[in-house]
Each structure stands twice: as C-alpha cells, then as structure tokens.
Amino acid sequence: MKRFGKIATVLATCMLVASPALAAEKVRWKLAMSWSSTLTPLAAAAPKLADMVSKMSGGNFEIRVEGAEKHKAALGILDMVKGGQYEMGHSASYYWKGKDISSVFFTTVPFGMTSNEQYAWFYYGDGQTLQDKAFEKFDVLSYPGGNTGVQMGGWFKKEIASVDDLKGLKMRIPGVAGEIFAKLGVAVTNIPPGELYTSLDRGTIDALEWVGPGMDIKMGFHKIAPYYYTGWHEPGAEMHYLINKKAFEQLSPEYQAILTTAIKAVTADQTAMNFDANARAWAQIKAEYPDIKIMSFPPAVLKEMKKANDEVMSDYAAKDPLFKEIWENQKAYMADVREWTRMSDYLYIKTVEALQE
C-alpha cells in the first residue's frame, strides 16, 4: 500500500508540472461498486483509484466511492452508470449478460483464458476493441478493473461424486457457468454478494460459487458447506470500471489521461492484491481449517461440463453475430498464446517441483 501511494504521488507531481491548468478545473464524480465497502480485497480497488486521481489532479478531480450497502443495487451498476446516476462503476460484466450475452467474455468464460492471457488479449490483441464495440450501445466505456485469477469451483453441502449429485441442487453461480449447471439439472440463481451467507444458511441455496479463498473465508461459507471444489469455470475473472461516455467526453484531455492512467495502475495493483490474498488464505485453510474438504470435480463430471459448455456457446454463437465474433477471436488468440503459458508457467512449476521430490 505504501509503495502504491508513492507511485501515485510521483505521477501526481508529473501531471501537475506538465499542466498547471488542471488547478482551475473542479470535477466531482461518484462511483458505485457491486460489493459492500467492507468486502476486501475487491472493495479496496475503487478507493485507491479515487485517491490516485485526486493526487494526480492536485485534489481537483474527486471521485466519491459508494458500496452496495449505500445504493442497494449490486447487480444494477450498468444501468446506474448508463443513466447518469453515477459517472463510474466497478463491477463484473457478466452480471448483465441478460442485457447482452457477449458481455460474458470480458469477465471470463468456462475453460477460457488465464489472467495473463486475458490481459494480453485486452491490451495487445483485439479485446479492448471488441469490448468497446459491445458496450457502445449502452453509451458507457469499459476498462479492465482487476483480475481474481483462477476462481474456486464453489462451496457445497455434500460431495459431488457424479452428475446425478448435481440434479436438483440449488446453486448461486453467474455467467455461462450457471447455464452449464442448469443443463446438468441444477436450479441456478444469481444472488448479490451481501446476501450469499444468509441464503446458504437458510437453505435458499445448497451451494454457491463466490471467488477464491482470499474472500471466501471471510464470508464464512465453510461453516455451512464444507466441501470446497477447485475451479474450472472462471480461469481469470476480470472486474471492470464503467464510465458514463458523456461524462468522460466532458472531461478535459488531461483529466481523461489521468483517469485512464490511474485505472490501468490500480487494475494491476488489484490483481496482485487478489493473488496475495488468495495465497495467504489458502495457507490459512491448510493450517487452521481441517474440516474444510478440498475436492476436485471427477473427470466424468468435468467432461459433462465441457460438453454442456460447448453446446451453450455454440447456441449463442448461432443467434448472436457479435457473440460469435468475440468467441472466435478469443479462441484464436488463446490458441496462439496457450502454448507459451504451458511452456513457461506450467512447465516451470513442474520443473521446480520435480527437484523437490
């Protein structure tokens, strides 16, 4: 945190020296988050962004951050930013797949890209261009806003030994993964973060997927559902900063540069923070929570998930030209970069582990 603050201060000094005119313009914005203000590390990002923008503008561009406990619309961030109630939002695009199914690609899709692959696609492939194309009709701009990395497969009250164990299960899981589970007989729902524990405790749902150990342990899900499954459905879930397009266009070029520069810096910081939180919490689980049963879905179940995923994606591609364009683009990019992921990260870890045997 201290290092991040120093970076913000240095950037602030550079911006003010470069443009003394910034001191004359006062801008006051509001930003709505999909999560409560206490839900760290997710909720830590937007306040850092606001602080960085303030410092870089000499205090003249201020952003007030409000959590879901304030606006009461955790899954309605797109509508609020589009409507101008908030100039910005911090959310995940697959929350509004009902408005545009192609939005799922900009968070994550099952069996898709890792966080490194996805950032490369956003910044050096066609990802940002395709995202701009998808969000144009909403009159909002969208930028990557921090990645959770590979998410865990969820908390269950019972072991999932076969596909039959999924049938009739009530589960909170968003995005395409929810549709995959629905095909396998699960009653799927999407519940705002603040209602997850209560829903699981009261039996409204039997299982849920949230993020990873860094946030899950704090929520207390393990007290009710001790089976914790490894991931398959969200290999690199990206959050997003939404900006009302009209509000952005009314900013001076200097403020536009400040905002987009700060977003990119905080996005990198958020991704690192998520990784650190997950790693620390995973060690805590192993040391302090012997009753949590770490499981992986059986190969037969995963094969059925992959089959259902291919059916869901193909159906959407047949109906929606933009969905098809993005899906084909993302698959082609992943095919280009996946070999390097395997040759670098995957084989490096295998090499080091082999030396420790």
Task: Give the residue ranges of the annotated binding site for Na(+).
Answer: 210
Other beta carbons less than 10 A from residue 288's beta carbon: 9
Please state the residue numbers annotated as binding site for substrate: 151, 172, 209, 234
Contact 233, 306 (CB under 8 A): no
Within the chain, strands assigned E span: 27-33, 61-66, 88-91, 140-147, 154-156, 170-172, 187-189, 207-208, 227-229, 238-244, 293-295
Contact 49, 105 (CB under 8 A): no
Tokens encoding 197: 């524990």
What's the gap between Cα 34 and its chain centre? 11
Angstrom distance (rounded) from CA 246 to CA 251: 9
Tokens encoding 292: 């949590």
Tokens encoding 92: 């995940």
337 HSE (CA, 13 A, CB side): 19
Give the burial class of 299: count Cβ atoms within 10 A of its Cβ; 0-12 exposed, 13-18 middle, 19 or more buried.
exposed
Shortest CA distance to 31 belongs to which of 2, 12, 54? 54
Shortest CA distance to 104 belongs to which of 345, 336, 326? 326
- Altogether, the residues listed in the chain come to a count of 357
Other beta carbons less than 10 A from residue 352's beta carbon: 9
Residue in this structure with the two tokens 């870089």, named with its chain if needed: 56
Angstrom distance (rounded) from CA 287 to CA 289: 6
Angstrom distance (rounded) from CA 331 to CA 335: 6
Please state the residue numbers annotated as binding site: 151, 172, 209-210, 234
